[in-house]
Amino acid sequence: MSEKPVINYGLEGIYVDESAISKVDGQNGKLWYRGYSIENLAEQSNFEEISYLLLNGNLPTNNQYEEFVEKLKERRDLPKEVKEVIKVMAPVSHPMDVMRTATSMLVMYDKDPNNRESGATMYKVVTLLAKLPTIAAATGRFREGKDYISPDHSLGHSANFLYMLTGKKPNEFESKLIDLMFILHAEHSTNASTFSVLVTASTLADVYSATTSGIGTLKGSLHGGADEAALNMMNAIGDPNNTEKYIEEALEGKQRIMGFGHRVYKTYDPRAKLVRSYLEESLTKEPLDEVKRLLQIVLRAEKLMIDKLGKTKGIWPNIDFFAGPLYRVLGIDSQMFTPIFVASRMAGWGSHVVEYWHNNKLVRPVEWYTGSIDLPYVPMNKR
């Protein structure tokens, strides 16, 4: 028998490809999209522009930008059948399940879904980018028994999403907050869902299948679902004075504190810092009592966790810890947090598919077999 190889559980530390899309520096807490720092992009850019940047590799000229924005606007609305399925599912299923199903349906409207030429791939990616916020908003409306709101072309990509979800046109600060979340969630190298997208794409399946794989993978609480799980934990803590006791007991019980820790960041997640600062700014704008309470919990939990696990084990806050309270500033229900992540991450998923197909290689890892071999087959009546 040959010697057992080194197994990298969860593919930890394994390089699977080269990529020029984003760089995550886990030791120094830095993130760049196509070479531009996340801090600069969050402050100066917008989601449409960073999507163009991620997909094309360069910042757009004015004409390129206008053309891209127009394509997104034109394709925002949903086919009738997709709306109908969302309406049936939304009241009984988690919004992520609705997202996955409705996204999968979009293949029906593509006359050439298996075309992988770069122009065709880009067309599919931009179409998904345009429609995913509408799927998320429709899901949010129908799950509460409300009517579908058609896209408003006078609004930007993320502000229009918020309008379609809440029925209220966001003010400048609200528009900034939702766009910030779209920008910060757009891309993060080969994390679990992006890898899942690439595994599917590597088989030469179509963009819709790859995206559906990504949505399924993003749902889990160790990945995209952590934002919803973190807010649920804050609600379970309830009173800010209960924060330390709750977390101490959870850690003693070997539970994970959602919104902390990261496979790559062994320091403060730079995206979390940005969300935290906007969350603090929201306190200057007549915040709801709920938001004030959440922020107290957040700050106390952050301090305790950094003291206990940050310096010793490299477990620091990640973006999901602050995302929930920020979405609550905007009045967004916790089950809608991860669907927003999907709508935004489509920019990264699409960029990776485009890049990967330039030099496609089927993903097929190996595993070390620990079972028996050559067992005698016993017929059922003799077992």
Ligand X SMILES: CC(C)(COP(=O)(O)OP(=O)(O)OC[C@H]1O[C@@H](n2cnc3c(N)ncnc32)[C@H](O)[C@@H]1OP(=O)(O)O)[C@@H](O)C(=O)NCCC(=O)NCCS
Q: With binding defined as CB under 6 A, does residue 256 bind ligand X?
A: yes
Of the listed 320, 333, 358, 374, which one is catalytic?
A: 320
Sign of CA dihedral 343, 347, 351, 352: negative
- Residue closer to ligand X, measured from CB, 160 or 193: 193
Q: With binding defined as CB under 6 A, does residue 261 bind ligand X?
A: yes
Q: Which of 263, 266, 273, 308 is the binder for ligand X (CB under 6 A)?
A: 263
- Residue closer to ligand X, measured from CB, 169 or 308: 308
Known catalytic residue at 320? yes
Options 130-138, 198-206, 233-241, 311-319: segment touching ligand X (CB under 6 A): 311-319
**Strand 36-37 to strand 22-25: parallel, antiparallel, or no bridges (unpaired)?**
unpaired
Known catalytic residue at 153? no
DSSP code of 285?
S
- CA separation for the pair 143, 89 (Å, rounded): 8
Q: With binding defined as CB under 6 A, does residue 318 bind ligand X?
A: yes
Q: Which of 73, 127, 135, 86 is nearest to 342 (CA)?
A: 135
Q: By CB under 6 A, what part of segment 211-240 binds ligand X?
A: 222, 226
Q: Which of 86, 110, 106 is nearest to 97 (CA)?
A: 86
- Residue closer to ligand X, measured from CB, 10 or 91: 10
Residue number, nearest CB to ligand X:
261
Give the position of tokens 């969300």. Answer: 275
Q: With binding defined as CB under 6 A, does residue 260 bind ligand X?
A: yes
- Residue closer to ligand X, measured from CB, 184 or 332: 184
Q: Which of 242, 241, 245, 224 is nearest to 323 (CA)?
A: 224
Q: Are 345 and 210 in contact (CB under 8 A)?
A: no
Q: With binding defined as CB under 6 A, does residue 320 bind ligand X?
A: yes
Phi, psi of 273 (to 5 degrees): -60, -45
Q: Which of 237, 258, 367 is nearest to 321 (CA)?
A: 258
Q: By CB under 6 A, what part of segment 23-82 binds ligand X?
A: none
Q: Are 57 and 34 in contact (CB under 8 A)?
A: yes
Q: Which of 133, 240, 259, 325 is the binder for ligand X (CB under 6 A)?
A: 259
- Residue closer to ligand X, measured from CB, 257 or 340: 257
Of the listed 157, 188, 262, 352, which one is catalytic?
A: 262
- CA separation for the pair 101, 86 (Å, rounded): 8
Binding site for ligand X (CB under 6 A): 10, 222, 226, 256-263, 313, 315, 318, 320
* Active-site annotation, residues: 262, 320
